[in-house]
Structure 1
Amino acid sequence: MIRHTVGRLVSTVVIALTLALFALPMLWLAAAPFDASPAITASLPQFTLDNFAAILDNPYALGSIRNSLIQGGGAAVLVVVLAALAAYALSRVRVPGRDLLLYLLLLLSSVVTGTAAMVPIFELATRLNLIDTHLGVILVVSGGLLPAAIFILKDFMDETPTSYEESARVFGASPLQILRDIVIPLVRPGLATIAVWALASVWGGFLFQFILLRDPDKAPGSVILYTLYTEGGSPKLDLISTFSLLYSLPVVLMYLFVSQRYGFRFHGGIKR
Structure 2
Amino acid sequence: MRGREVAARLAFGVVTTLLATFFALPCLWLVLAPFNARATLATVLPSPPSLTNFRAVLGNHDAVVGLLNSGIQALGSMLLTVAVAALAAYALSRARVPGARAFTAVLLMFSSVVSGTVAMVPIYNIILKLGLIDTQLGVILVMTGGLLPTAIFLLLDFVNALPKSYEESAAVCGARPWQYLPQVIFPLIRPGLMVVGVWAFVGVWGSFLTPYILLRSNSNLPASVQAYQFYNDNGQPVLTLVSAYSFLYVLPVLLLYLWVNWRYGFRFFGGIKG
Question: What range is the shorter-chain TM-score in?
Answer: over 0.9
1:201 aligns with 2:203: yes
In percent, how many aligned pairs have the same letter? Answer: 52
1:13-58: CA deviation from partner (whole Å, max 9, x where unpaired): 2322222222111110000001122111232323221101110111
1:114-160: CA deviation from partner (whole Å, max 9, x where unpaired): 00011111111110000010100000000000111111111222233
Of residues 68, 83, 86, the one that matches 2:85 is 83
1:91 deviates by 2.3
1:81-120: CA deviation from partner (whole Å, max 9, x where unpaired): 0011111122223433222211111111011000001111
Tell me the distance in 2 between the aligned counterparts of 1:80 and 1:63: 26
Bigger Cα displacement from structure 2, 218-227 vs 150-159: 150-159
User: How do 1:121-160 residues align onto structure 2 when only pairs under 5 Å count?
Assistant: 121-160=123-162
- Code of the residue aligned with 2:91 in structure 1: it is A
Consecutive unaligned residues in structure 2, runs of 5 or more:
none
1:53 counterpart residue number = 55
1:172 deviates by 5.4
1:15 counterpart residue number = 16
The alignment partner of 1:216 has SS state of coil
1:209 deviates by 0.5
1:252 aligns with 2:244: no
Tell me the distance in 1 between the aligned counterparts of 2:15 and 2:92: 44
1:171 deviates by 4.7
Bigger Cα displacement from structure 2, 169-178 vs 186-195: 169-178
2:165 counterpart residue number = 163
TM-score (norm 1): 0.93
Tell me the distance in 2 between the aligned counterparts of 1:129 and 1:108: 27
- Code of the residue aligned with 2:86 in structure 1: it is A
1:225 deviates by 0.7
2:103 counterpart residue number = 101
1:49-76: CA deviation from partner (whole Å, max 9, x where unpaired): 1101110111212111111111110000
1:39 counterpart residue number = 40
The alignment partner of 1:41 has SS state of coil
CA contact (8 A) 1:157 1:268 kept: no
Tell me the distance in 2 between the aligned counterparts of 1:248 and 1:42: 18
Change in CA separation of 1:113 and 1:175 when aligned onto 2, cut-off 3 Å: farther
Tell me the distance in 2 between the aligned counterparts of 1:132 and 1:107: 30
Of residues 177, 180, 196, the one that matches 1:178 is 180
CA RMSD of aligned residues (A): 1.8
Tell me the distance in 1 between the aligned counterparts of 2:266 and 2:118: 32
CA contact (8 A) 1:38 1:238 kept: yes
Tell me the distance in 1 between the aligned counterparts of 2:179 and 2:35: 52
Tell me the distance in 1 between the aligned counterparts of 2:258 and 2:225: 25
